[in-house]
Amino acid sequence: MPSLESVSIDCRTVLVLGGARSGKSRYAQALAEAAKPQRLFVATAEPGDAEMAARIARHQADRGAGWRTREAPLELAAALRAEARQDRAVLVDCVTLWLSNLMFAGRDLSAEISILAKEIREIRGPVILVSNEVGLGIVPESPLGREFRDWQGRANQELAKVCDAVAFLAAGLPILLKPAPSPNLRLR
């Protein structure tokens, strides 16, 4: 992973996107650790089975000391409102699991995404959001899978609009998407 000193951008909110096993969580954790000595991990995962419980335990061990954890499988905007402050970095991992939790709970996804985006615009301290980019692969076979993929794309777009910076991870390498120069294309 390139040095965090290689690019310096003044920002308060960062959306870190990537596919499964892309390195997005590790990158987001490094950003938070470089930002503030006080750090809060907002967890959206619920240990529904043994594999997920083991995954959660591994992530907790990887974070080590210096981190506090708050569980927010559904009420993410409320957790950020209560916890974000200038002297502490907040890392949300991940928007994808939060969205699936909302979907299975029968919540209004459009309203929930809007509430979260509004909270991010008004947030009081540094926040890093991790989210999966699920639209780069094959079209899901099931209607539920396609519906989820579409909602995840909408959520990522809304959050990208309101975050100061957006990074995309592929093979553990970050690509800065925002801020980015606007192309000056002239079509002929």
Side by side, the strands of the sheet bearing 127-132 are 67-71, 38-43, 88-93, 127-132, 13-18, 165-170, 173-178
Q: Of 12, 26, 36, 59, which residue is the catalytic one? A: 59
Q: Vertex 79, ends 61 and 70: CA angle to 5°?
A: 20
Tokens 């509004």: give the residue. 118
Pull the structure tokens for residue 157: 């777009």
Instruction: Provide the CA 32 distance to its chain's centre, in angstroms.
Output: 12
- The answer to whether 59 is a known catalytic residue is yes
Distances (CA, A) of 1 to 6, 27, 28, 167: 11, 8, 12, 13
**Nearest Cα to 92, choosing from 103, 101, 104, 83?**
83
Q: Which residues are catalytic?
A: 59
